[in-house]
Amino acid sequence: MEKTKEITIYDIADRLNISVATVSRALKDDPVVNKKTKKKILDLAEKMGYRSNHFARNLRNQRTDTIGVIIPRLNSYFMSTVIAGIENVANAEGYNLIITQSSESFEKEVASAKTMFNNRVDGLLVSLAYDTENLDHFEQFSKKNIPLIFFDRTEDHNRFTDVLIDNHKAAYDATCHLIEQGCKRIVHITASPKRNVYIDRLSGYKQALSDHKIRFRNDHIIVGNLSAEAGEEAVEKIIRMSPLPDGIFVANDNCAVSCIISLKKAGLRVPEDIAVVGFNNDPVSKVVEPNLTTINYPGYEMGEMAARNLINHLNGSVPLHSTNTILLRSELVVRASSLRKG
């Protein structure tokens, strides 16, 4: 198919027999151009199919008004709420988003970072993949003074800002709750031990056991990808344990709900035989029966905070190379899946 010619301001000026400068000013809504002339120009521009060349203008201004976002998975309720928060702030400030997913792959994350860099994003928001072990692929942004902020999942560094919750405390509270309900043999289902969120949740779980004089057992840690299938596989292991565990703390709700369904299929009662606590407060936590006790993780607020902080860097109200950790509040939401007392 033959590509049609792109309409320019010169075509509009020629058709109306007016100066190119007048057309340019009218398209920028400059008050210097009188309303009647401006309307004539805008009507013709629309009729002819004129498209403003934002790319050329942005190159002149050395900015694209675009923010890049790299996330592990698009099919995550938590990540979708984070993106909604980012978009709310970014759009209000006149920025567009380019969103890519790493699909939990370091190699795809590296490729996404390169794509963002080549697309000249003004700033970048990142939540790391399971297996990311270094941040070398983000050095190109530092060298060009392009601000970068990590949210939720990060790696040890001293160069960028992180937006997080206190995963250690959240996991500690969740495990303590199970212990207070009489649980003494608590399994923790988690994901990659490389990632900060899962490292911190495991440490919170361990501290809660220690503070209540309960021995930590390696065989009570089940590592998977926290999918629904991982929940089914974890329950297959749990029902073969002797003695049978009486509590499960899962590092996300999707997997926790799968555990509840699988436990019930195996003839076990939740919470009477095994109490279950999840993490994230996804909508599915209020659909499963019994409703799932979980940690409320403020994804929307996290997205808003990350975007606002990034834009503050871009606007110069926060020094470009300042680094800090922003902690958002989380809370335990108690529902029927863990209530063995009272």
DSSP 219-258: GGEEES--SHHHHHHHHHHHTTSSSPPSEEEESSHHHHHH
Whether residue 256 is found in the same domain as residue 293: yes
- The domain that holds 132 is classified in CATH as 3.40.50.2300
Say yes or no to pLDDT of 143 above 90: no
In terms of domains, do 201 and 176 share one?
yes
User: Per-residue confidence at 197, pLDDT binned at 50, 70, 90?
Assistant: very high
Strand intervals (E) in 96-165: 96-101, 123-126, 148-151, 161-165
CATH number at 36 reads 1.10.260.40
Over the stretch 33-89, which tens digit does the pLDDT of each residue have? 899 999 999 889 888 888 766 555 555 556 788 999 999 999 889 999 999 999 999
User: How many structural domains is the chain composed of?
Assistant: 3
Could you tell me if 161 and 215 lie in one domain?
no
Residue 246 falls within a domain, yes or no?
A: yes
The answer to the question of residue 3 being in a domain is no
Residue 119 lies in a domain: yes
The answer to the question of residue 57 being in a domain is no
Q: Which domain holds residue 138?
A: 65-165+299-328
Across the range 217-240, mean pLDDT stands at 96
Please report, rounded to a whole number, the percentage of residues in the chain having pLDDT higher than 90. 72
Q: Are residues 173 and 271 in the same domain?
A: yes
* 132 within some domain: yes
Q: For residues 190 and 203, is the Cβ–Cβ distance under 8 A?
A: no
Q: Which residues does 254 contact at the CB level (< 8 Å), separation at least 6?
A: 226, 227, 228, 231, 282, 284
**Same-domain check for residues 175 and 284:** yes
128 and 199 both lie in a single domain: no
Q: Are residues 230 and 312 in the same domain?
A: no
**According to the model, what pLDDT value does residue 53 have?**
61
